Amino acid sequence: MDRPLTAPRVLALMPPMTQLNVPYPATAYLTGFLRSRGVAAFQADLAIELVLRLFSRAGLADLARHVETQPARARTPRAQAFLDRLDRHLACVEPAVAFLQGRDPSLAMRIAGRRFLPEGPRFESLDVYYDPEGGDPLAWAFGALGVQDRARHLATLYLDDLADVLREGADPRFEFVRYGESLSMSQPSFEPLAQALAAPPTLVERHLDVLVDQVLERYSPQVVLISAPFPGNVYAAFRMARRVKDRQPDTVTVLGGGYVNTELRDLAEPRVFDFFDFVCLDDGERPLLALLEHLAGKRALDGLVRTFVRDAGPDDAAAESPPPPLCERGEKGPGTVRFIQGSEADVPFNEVGTPTWDGLPLDRYLSLLDMLNPMHRLWSDGGWNKLTVAHGCYWKKCSFCDVGLDYIGRYDAASAAVLVDRIEAVVAETGRTGFHFVDEAAPPKALKALAEELARRGRAISWWGNIRFEKSFTPDLCRQLADSGCVAVSGGLEVASDRLLQLMQKGVSVEQVARVTHAFSEAGILVHAYLMYGFPSQTVQDTVDALEYVRQLFAAGCIQSGFFHRFACTVHSPVGLAPERYGIRLKPRPFAGFARNDVAFSDPTGTDHDALGQALNKALYNFMHGIGLEQDVRRWFDVRVPKPKVARNFIERALGG
């Protein structure tokens, strides 16, 4: 900066794409914290703004003009069908969006009647719901009176159809919850991003440029913070930063977020700093305070905290800590990258302030119903306020997890009184009493104290969040949490194998998980299980046995929802740091200065986990809809697999039945 910023205006931006029913909380946390320190801070969510701009009458007309420029022989059948019914789409899209926003519930009857929305290939999924009478395939899910939810599901399928048209006809990178993810997913080199950023803008990107221009004009920021929590945000984050620099060259741009914290810890690519002036690691409160003091002329550059910068040349002062190794492309850009660690402690969790949603259009988010499962729908349906019970993980032993990184390894809790103070402040601001606690794993003691404080104040809320299935969650505690407003929990069962759970240092057994999940379910609390396959040394027999355990948990009503993730070895996890303990060998992967996190490995078992994963996900989808719960799990596999070694009444016996 040519001159100090004595009172900077800070704008925090969320790039596309995240989720559509609620704002991702990063900007709300930072905006609330900065305002508590007297900083003029503002925020905007360009993810929801982009979707609303694309899926409007004007947006679809723009898409149609783009598709029409393509030769007819080059159009996909889906894109051509969109053009053939364009008038109906232009008439229906804004009413459908308004309905999903909750602004026009009276439209439910027309949507549910299946004669209003133009139906495309996505509606073919309704055929999987078996109706022996040949009548209504959705009757099992919604009955005769569930009109609002039925209509929400149909309207969600309609938007999915339009998203498919947009992807096939204009921008293959577009998805509702990610954008250009492959450009930054496990990318050791910046080159794929650089090439994409240098290409002419797509239809989606032209709309995004307009949105960036609008927020710059509205807020006139001197500092722009862009959070990239996932690989599916990174490409848009860089495009937004470049637009900021094109429009306001003197504006300081800062990159942070979950992707940066896990993938860019060894950043050494100078070209990143053609877009961002600073890149900050881990929780942003302390680095941002130091950065703002530096921009105000009150702190030297070497006084920054956990921040990457690009040196302009060899005359710059040395950093306080050694820089990461220079990438092989370091000579391509001016200067070199260095990391300034700093020594100041993080802001205590008790003092980070209350998140604020001021400036975010809470009434414009979409409540989608893409999965007909009462637990699974919570991630996309409803306007949940996001809040954290404690920083980090109190367990921090799981061998597959990045336990050494700050967001997990530094556990810091707030008192129940502080938490309920924050809850009351958020309710007063948003008018919403539903909360999603976005912890790594909320501690049982903290949740018990929270329930007691809510009862003491007579505060009625609804909440759900992530936990560990540990024995502290007794039937009595589960009932107490239900009385406090708990409607659902999610937790990691991972691989349902006692041998592998012990190898993972998960601290639970299958039998314990059965008892704990049963206690939650008996208290009227829905349960979602995070599941995993492909862990080191996992055999085909382990996989079949795990699916049998999962089948029994569903059949016994212990869990209502689940999702199978493919295990990924990361360089920050115990498995990645000591692979020999898990019987695997890491495969060398060249690092070119950008991202370093996921690492491939060879497992002597030789199991084809990709083939097994298809069967696991097919089975789980059916289990969540109550299908196949009494059948042999081998039926889901397309390849020959061994018979489960698990007794078919294992869970029943574990529950004392």
Q: Taking residues 304-329, what's their average pLDDT?
A: 59
- Position 372 pLDDT exceeds 90: no
Find out whether the peptide bond into 17 is cis, omega within 30 degrees of 0: yes
Q: How do strand 223-227 and strand 9-14 relate by DSSP bridges?
A: parallel
| Residue 206, CA distances (Å) to 212, 228, 360, 631 in order | 10, 20, 22, 51
For the chain, what percent of residues have pLDDT higher than 90?
Answer: 88
Name the nearest CA neighbour of 398 among 388, 409, 411. 409
The structure tokens listed for 582 are 């898990």
Q: Taking residues 584-595, what's their average pLDDT?
A: 92
- Position 553 pLDDT exceeds 50: yes
Rounded to a whole number of angstroms, the distance between the first and last alpha carbons of the chain is: 71
Q: Taking residues 487-515, what's their average pLDDT?
A: 96
If pLDDT is split at 50, 70 and 90, which confidence band does 265 have? very high
List, as one string, the DSSP characters of 278-343: EEE-S-SHHHHHHHHHHHTTSS-GGG-SSEEEE-SSTTSPPPSSPPPPPPTTGGGSSS-EEEE---
The CATH architecture assigned to 371-654 reads Alpha-Beta Horseshoe (3.80)
Per-residue pLDDT of 21-46, as tens digits, reads 999 999 999 999 999 999 999 999 99
If pLDDT is split at 50, 70 and 90, which confidence band does 1 have? low
What per-residue confidence (pLDDT) applies to 290? Answer: 97
What per-residue confidence (pLDDT) applies to 7? Answer: 74
Question: Using an 8 Å Cβ cutoff, are 399 and 420 in contact?
Answer: no
What per-residue confidence (pLDDT) applies to 133? Answer: 55
Q: Taking residues 478-486, what's their average pLDDT?
A: 98
The three-class DSSP label of residue 111 is helix
What per-residue confidence (pLDDT) applies to 333? Answer: 44
What per-residue confidence (pLDDT) applies to 320? Answer: 44
Per-residue pLDDT of 158-196, as tens digits, reads 999 999 999 999 999 999 999 999 999 989 999 999 999
What per-residue confidence (pLDDT) applies to 322? Answer: 45
If pLDDT is split at 50, 70 and 90, which confidence band does 332 have? very low
How far apart CA 242 and CA 256 sit, in angstroms, is 16
Mean pLDDT of the chain: 92
Question: Using an 8 Å Cβ cutoff, are 550 and 652 in contact?
Answer: no
Name the nearest CA neighbour of 96 among 78, 117, 114. 117
CB atoms within 10 A of CB 125: 13
The three-class DSSP label of residue 405 is coil
If pLDDT is split at 50, 70 and 90, which confidence band does 408 have? very high
How far apart CA 138 and CA 95 sit, in angstroms, is 23
Q: Taking residues 335-361, what's their average pLDDT?
A: 95
Measured at the CA of 331, the angle between CA 330 and CA 334, to 5 degrees, comes to 95
What per-residue confidence (pLDDT) applies to 326? Answer: 33
The three-class DSSP label of residue 494 is strand
If pLDDT is split at 50, 70 and 90, which confidence band does 319 have? very low
If pLDDT is split at 50, 70 and 90, which confidence band does 140 have? low
Question: In the 3-class helix/strand/coil scheme, how is 542-599 assigned residue by residue?
Answer: HHHHHHHHHHHHHHCCCCCEEEEEECCCECCCHHHHCHHHHCCEECCCCCCCCCCCEC
Q: Taking residues 574-579, what's their average pLDDT?
A: 95
| Residue 615, CA distances (Å) to 48, 318, 534, 639 in order | 34, 55, 13, 9
Per-residue pLDDT of 53-75, as tens digits, reads 999 999 999 999 999 999 999 99
Backbone angles phi, psi at 563, to 5 degrees: -150, 130
- Position 423 pLDDT exceeds 70: yes
Which H helix or E strand runs over 493?
strand 486-494
Residues 6+ apart with CB under 8 A from 312: 334, 335
Q: Taking residues 551-557, what's their average pLDDT?
A: 97
Question: Using an 8 Å Cβ cutoff, are 104 and 366 in contact?
Answer: no
Q: Taking residues 396-406, what's their average pLDDT?
A: 93
Pick the CATH number of 9-47+181-349 from 3.30.70.20, 3.40.1130.10, 3.40.50.150, 3.40.50.280: 3.40.50.280
What per-residue confidence (pLDDT) applies to 257? Answer: 97
List, as one string, the DSSP characters of 422-470: HHHHHHHHH---EEEE--SS--HHHHHHHHHHHHHHT---EEEEEE---
- Gyration radius of the chain over CA positions: 25
Q: pTM of the entire structure?
A: 0.92
The structure tokens listed for 78 are 């889906």
If pLDDT is split at 50, 70 and 90, which confidence band does 129 have? low
Extents of the domains making up the chain:
9-47+181-349, 52-175, 371-654
